């Protein structure tokens, strides 16, 4: 399964990789920002994306909106420190499957993957 982690913080990407089930690390690619994430999604078959919201342009909301407009939102789990209810509502409206507070545990990720049918 092709997995994409999108976060402008290298440290956050590293922490998130450590929380992922080992099977998701086999075909993992990382993006340090929205532009890179969009390029990867255009050229590769991303089967699962972990997306931060607070990044330089385009931010996570914009990435979701652009992919949504193209009809190409991969199954997405937003991972963000912005846990306001409006943030959660907005990303779900833009096509994300779930919202997890930074930094999620492996158990939280596994539970979402099970809901997605990817366990």
* pLDDT(119) > 90: no
Q: CA 22 from chain center: how many Å?
A: 17
What is the pLDDT, as a whole number, of residue 10? 96
Q: What percent of the chain has pLDDT over 90?
A: 93
What is the pLDDT, as a whole number, of residue 66? 96
**110 vs 119, which has greater pLDDT?**
110
Q: With residue 28 as reference, give the H or E element that holds it.
A: strand 28-31
pLDDT category, 83, cuts 50, 70, 90? confident
All structural domains of the chain with their residue ranges: 3-116
- 3-116 CATH: 3.40.50.2300
What is the pLDDT, as a whole number, of residue 82? 87
The H-assigned helical ranges of 27-117 are 34-43, 60-69, 85-93, 106-116
pTM: 0.96
- Residues near 89 by Cβ (< 8 Å), separated by ≥ 6? none
- pLDDT tens for 16-46 read 999 999 999 999 999 999 999 999 999 999 9
């Amino acid at each position: 399964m092709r997995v994409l982690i999108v976060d402008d913080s290298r440290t956050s990407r590293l922490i998130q990789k450590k929380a992922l089930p080992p099977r998701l690390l086999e075909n993992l690619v990382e993006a340090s920002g929205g532009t890179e994430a969009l390029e990867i999604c255009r050229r590769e078959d991303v089967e699962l994306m972990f997306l931060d919201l607070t990044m330089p342009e385009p931010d996570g909301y914009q990435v979701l909106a652009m992919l949504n407009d193209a009809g190409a939102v991969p199954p997405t789990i937003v991972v963000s420190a912005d846990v306001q209810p409006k943030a959660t509502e907005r990303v779900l409206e833009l096509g994300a499957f779930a919202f997890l507070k930074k930094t999620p545990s492996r158990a939280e990720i596994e539970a979402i993957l099970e809901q997605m049918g990817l366990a």
